[in-house]
Amino acid sequence: MSQMRIPEHGTPAEAVLSDLCAARSDDADWRSGRTWSLVYFAGDEVLELAKKAYTAYFSENGLSPIAFKSLRRFENEVVAMTASMLHAPETSRGTMTSGGTESILMAVKAARNNARASHPEIDEPEILAPISVHPAFEKAAHYLGLKVVHIPVDADLRADTEAAASLLTANTVLVVGSAPSYPHGVVDPIPALAALAAEHGLPMHVDACLGGFLLPWLEKLGEPIPPWDFRVPGVTSISADLHKYGYAARGASTVLYRDADLRRHQFFAYADWPGGLYASPSMSGSRPGGAIAAAWAVLNHLGEDGYLRLAARVRDTTRRLLDGIGAIPELQILGEPVGSVFAFTSDALNVYVLGDCMTARGWALDRQQYPPALHQMVTPAHAEAVGAYLSDLRAAVAETLAMGDELASDGSAAMYGMAATIEDRGFVEEIAIEFIDQVFDLDGDPPL
């Protein structure tokens, strides 16, 4: 790596901030609704409140609820409001985390340690989860010494419950379902999976990191949402992100448990440190107080009526997009998405080339595989962009069709097309690692 020293002389604050803002010029344009993932924008009023609340607690550290009693209060109230929204019983307990990945890590750790306490004979613990489940479960298994056993999905892209029953073994310590799955926006058959888990005395986790703060409001609006929360017997834990459809500042999620006993397995304590007794509720040590304060502020500011209003806007925008894409003969929506995320594919053209054509028009869509597809996540910010987006999509379809069988030599079409031909998926993972290695290297440019 090139040597880059801290400047010998400091730069005036105004100049630093000017450079900081100028650096955004090539970043994704999320504010105008041209980016279909990563940022959940509910408007300037909510954003400014979150910023002010975050900076008001910018220096406070959530590591110590004793030193910062206000943060303890805010976190407990955020968890309590979330639990109520998810119909959790009075016995439920939870914590805030830094995001969906940490919430999932904590749920997996709790399940693993629960199994260690009740079934010490298990030395190769397994997670039973749909193939469509978020990769954070693979990451958790990688970090915590478990194995993910994948449940195939049916034609409707939801977990195959008969296959799940056949894949459950004496080593299974956790059953998982998504509400909804990120790739296709469908809700897994949570009641059937939870019943399977309960039958074998296992915990059942619902990954609602994406839908946790949207599905409850869509249900109140009269949408037919499949059962998925704590009203389902056998569901023992749920993860739900505040910085997604809760519209809080990034770095805020929740993980909730049906009872306190399971949550205790999430915690960490160490009694022999010369620095004193150490105890931590989650993966992080120091926790930014700003994220906790901003989540509390946004929940109280929006209230149920605010979340209902935003959910209706997301629902209506999603319907317009699904109708518009469905009207393009060459494109097909995958499954029957519930809520705000969906993917579409094509039998008539290369969707990766189509994605690159849309990128050239200023739209950022995620690429998916099995089958090749383009993915969209809808927020209130996209309402005003639907007309322009659909117009550009129709033009991009025509452009892609005109290319015929011409192969792309660069862009995502080349990368995904090459990856699809490689049977050794471990080698593909090595390519992905190499990509990350180059992205975070000052000496070179990212490969895309």
29-65 pLDDT, tens digit each:
899 999 999 999 999 999 999 999 999 999 999 988 8
Judge if 275 and 126 occupy the same domain.
Answer: yes
Can you give the pTM of this predicted structure? Answer: 0.93
418, HSE (Cβ side, Cα atoms, 13 Å) = 12
Report the distance separating Cα 59 and Cα 262, nearest Å: 32
User: What letter does residue 260 receive in the DSSP assignment?
Assistant: H
Structure tokens at 352: 């990766």
Q: How many domains does the chain have?
A: 2
C-beta separation of 401 from 357 below 8 A: no
Q: Domain of 335: which CATH number?
A: 3.90.1150.10
Do 149 and 127 contact (CB within 8 A), yes or no?
A: yes
Which residues of the chain fall short of a pLDDT of 50? none
Residue 86 forms part of a structural domain: yes
3-state class (DSSP) for residue 432: helix
Three-class DSSP category at 297: helix
d(CA 337, CA 183): 10
User: Which of 299, 324, 353 finishes a domain?
Assistant: 299
| Whether 275 and 356 share a structural domain | no
- 227 three-class SS: coil
Read off the DSSP letter of residue 448: -
Q: Does 12 reside within a domain?
A: no
d(CA 88, CA 85): 8
Same-domain status, 205 and 344 = no
- Angstrom distances, CA of residue 142 to CA of 108, 132, 137: 11, 17, 8
Q: What distance, in Å, lies between the first and last C-alpha atoms of the chain? A: 20
The CATH number of the domain holding residue 235 is: 3.40.640.10
Compute the distance between CA of residue 92 and CA of residue 47 in angstroms, rounded to an integer.
Answer: 30
Supply the pLDDT for residue 447.
53
**Are 292 and 340 members of one domain?**
no
Secondary element (H or E) of residue 333: strand 332-333
Q: Is residue 48 part of a domain?
A: no
Q: Are 99 and 243 in contact (CB under 8 A)?
A: yes
Burial of residue 443, with CB atoms counted within 10 A of its CB: 0-12 exposed, 13-18 middle, 19 or more buried: exposed
From 207, 218, 138, select the one nearest 179 (Cα to Cα): 207
| Eight-state DSSP code of residue 5 | P
pLDDT value at position 448? 55
Strand partners, 288: 61
The Cα–Cα gap between 194 and 190 comes to 6
Task: Name the residue range of residue 224's domain.
Answer: 53-299
| Same-domain check for residues 285 and 402 | no
Tell me the one-letter amino acid at 283: M
- What Rg, from alpha-carbon coordinates, does the chain have? 23
Choosing from 232, 265, 299, the residue where a domain stops is 299
pLDDT of residue 126: 98
Domain boundary among 270, 299, 328: 299
Q: In this structure, are 251 and 348 located in the same domain?
A: no
- Give the pLDDT score at 115: 97
pLDDT at 426: 78
Tell me, yes or no, whether 45 lies in a domain: no
